[in-house]
Amino acid sequence: MNYKTLLKIINDRTAKIGVIGLGYVGLPLAITFANKGFAVTGFDVDPKKIVQLMEGRSYIKHIENDIIQQHISSKTLTVSHDFSLLSGMSAIIVCVPTPLNHVREPDLSYLEATARSITSCLKEGQLVVLESTTYPGCCEEVVKPVLEESGLISAKDFYLAYSPEREDPGNHEFSTKDIPKVVGGDGSKALEVAIALYDQIVVETVPVSSMDVAEAVKLTENIFRAVNIALINELKVIYGKMGVDIWEVIEAAKTKPFGYMPFYPGPGLGGHCIPVDPFYLTWKAKQAGETTRFIELAGEINTAMPEKVVETLSTSLKDQFNTSLDGSIILLIGLAYKKNVDDTRESPALVLIDLLEDRGSKVDYFDPYVPIIPVTRKHSHLAGRESIKWVLANFAKYDAALICTDHDGLDYSGLVDHSRLVVDTRNVISKIPLVSKKVQKA
């Protein structure tokens, strides 16, 4: 199949789409293609995900069961862990994890294993697109050579492109179809077919001159956020020592219609992107003989925030009750890394549990989106713990409640009324009238 044939079947939506990795990026992407009439096959190595989807059950909170059921029953979406089916796909999109290892270097094991699975099935005329976050040069230096072990040559026999994911779980204003897609290809034909593919499902495609540029775009977006969040976290600590409320400062500063963009402090960084992606560039920069001082400093500041929160909590207990963390019972409110989602990847709440228990506290948690702590890479020892029920009368038994994630819809006023002490890292209860010193911002 030549690229003109591939373009034709993409444009008339008879192309078969394979999506590898059915997590927070891959599953919404697969559904978006299915919504546009494509026949989509989703692949994942986790058999539990495949079984759940085949039964019409979603494991991602913001994706409703009926959407899954609709596509499974109509066969616009099929799911499998049989990667040999990749040979029948017109386009293969890779959405697998690209985490860091224990020394903050890129862990490409999932990506390399996936590339080898594709290689064994790669056919002439197929399009392969990587959406997982990587460093500039990864597609060219890692993915392309593995795929060419098939004997097929990129830009001649098959087409390789990079289009960084921009998924924001739980964001109802910007779903997959509403977010422009940056696309870089290995040659002009690869770029053309990749643009044609994404033109079918998103509001706008943004072509760039190479896969390296597209890879750099993704890192730049998340480095921008990481550095600015670190700045505001540092200002929170400094202003706090001066008796200045950082939240009031931000609200006033953001009234300026130019030259300022609001970022907000918190108990630490969470999610797969912002705590991880900047260090892909740090590692690559070292290969080029350069250092990334801003990125590394931002990482140090953001990583230190959970300790700052614990110290605030410790000081508050000492000041108000003359007690210490050792022996205290703490209720942590919110386990997900951000509000209104069930995503616990890199959540600072998990770090806070460990820090508090290391200091001798007993910790319970409440999160309506995370009834049971799942297995995570760094905190597997916490897996299986269950959320308490939201019963206001029971809150009095805790020495303090620590708000880590500001989910909507919770009775924060009731939490304050029934708790001995509340430490708020998200400024969620700032508008509740307070008649005591029960609330401490952190």
Residue 399 near residue 321 (C-beta atoms within 8 A) = yes
Query: Confidence class of residue 436 from pLDDT cuts 50, 70 and 90?
Result: low
Per-residue pLDDT at 175 exceeds 90: no
Residues 370-409: tens digit of each pLDDT: 999 999 888 999 999 999 999 999 999 999 999 999 999 9
Averaged over 128-145, what is the pLDDT? 97
Q: pLDDT higher for 275 or 434? A: 275
Task: Report residue 72 as tokens.
Answer: 């499974």
Q: Write out the residue limits of the CATH 3.40.50.720 domain(s) in the chain.
A: 3-209, 234-441
Per-residue pLDDT at 435 exceeds 60: no
Per-residue pLDDT at 240 exceeds 80: yes
Residue 249 near residue 239 (C-beta atoms within 8 A) = yes
Q: What CATH number belongs to 3-209?
A: 3.40.50.720
* Spatial CA neighbour of 162 closest among 116, 110, 208, 104: 208
Task: Report residue 441 as tokens.
Answer: 């911002």
Query: Confidence class of residue 434 from pLDDT cuts 50, 70 and 90?
Result: low
For helices 47-54 and 65-74, angle between their N-to-C axes, nearest 10 degrees: 80
Q: What is the DSSP string of 89-145?
A: -SEEEE-----B-TTS-B--HHHHHHHHHHHTT--TT-EEEE-S---TTHIIIIIHH
Give the catalytic positions in this structure: 273
Strand, helix or coil for residue 205: strand
Residue 363 near residue 353 (C-beta atoms within 8 A) = yes
What pLDDT is recorded for position 442? 83
Q: What CATH class has 234-441?
A: alpha beta
What pLDDT is recorded for position 355? 98
Residues 84-101: tens digit of each pLDDT: 999 999 999 999 999 999
Residue 370 near residue 387 (C-beta atoms within 8 A) = yes
